Structure 1
């Protein structure tokens, strides 16, 4: 599968399709397109345009990761674990404290955020490992191997 076919498959044919399997080339070519698009949109400097891009691409990116995990024999819903951790970290991130000079502000959540940060790094490495594994060559519980 080449770059154009992978992007077409993920954005048009399987935009929000969470069933089946996705090959390594399909997933990684799509992720490359996702990153390139994100960089190009961020260069415009428009926060609204960047937010619209991220919301539009969220479903196909999650669906591609879901199908990719299923291709390796793992439950696809696992792809939502790092997303959930990111949401928890965003909710717990304190605003920049405003304290008078020479005083230390309230840092109650900083220890918890450090732990969540370490957990996020470990989870990211595990998912990177899983997403780079070869496809199961035979039919698994999620369907037949994807056509290459």
Structure 2
């Protein structure tokens, strides 16, 4: 849950880097929230939650792409039917680079 709250604290921060774990934990919690709301029949609330989390989702994906050495604008490749989504997923699952234009690898700052 800390990763989800951390992403919300960086609501519209499109600079810096995000580790794979941070990104995928945010996505997992996001999906769980939407599934629970859908099972409870709260579709309108689910849509509002999705709309409220749109900017944090875009910003954490941009930071994740920065970790792999790519610009956050690569998210637009998902607009290409099927192929774009697959390419974006491949970019998001790659390991981060040591140091790049977007800063130092965040793995160096996390305690073991």
TM-score (norm: length of structure 1): 0.68
Q: Does 1:144 align with 2:104?
A: yes
Are positions 1:73 and 2:69 aligned together? yes
Deviates more, 1:121-130 or 1:66-75: 121-130
Could you tell me whether the CA contact under 8 Å between 1:41 and 1:53 is conserved in 2? Answer: no
Secondary structure of 2:11's counterpart equals: coil
Is residue 21–residue 70 contact of structure 1 (8 Å, CA) maintained in 2?
yes
2-side partners of 1:5 and 1:50: how far apart? 21
Q: Which residue number in structure 2 is paired with residue 9 of structure 1?
A: 6
Within the alignment, does 1:47 sit opposite 2:7 as a pair? no
Specify the alignment match of 1:100 in structure 2.
none
Residue 92 of structure 2 corresponds to which residue in structure 1? 131
Q: CA deviation at 1:24?
A: 0.5
How far is 1:41 from its partner?
A: 1.3
Give the ranges of 4+ consecutive aligned residues of structure 1 lying more than 2 Å apart after TM superposition.
none
Distance 2:28 2:42 in 1: 22
Aligned positions of 1:96-135 closer than 5 A: 119-135=80-96
> Unpaired runs of 5+ in structure 1?
86-118
* Cα drift, residue 55 of structure 1: 0.6
TM-score (norm 2): 0.88
How far 1:8 moved relative to its partner? Answer: 1.8
3-state SS, counterpart of residue 42 of structure 1: helix
Aligned residues: 108
Structure 1 Cα separation of the partners of residues 53 and 38 of structure 2 = 14
SS at match of 1:18: coil
Q: Distance in 2 between matches of 1:132 and 1:33?
A: 17
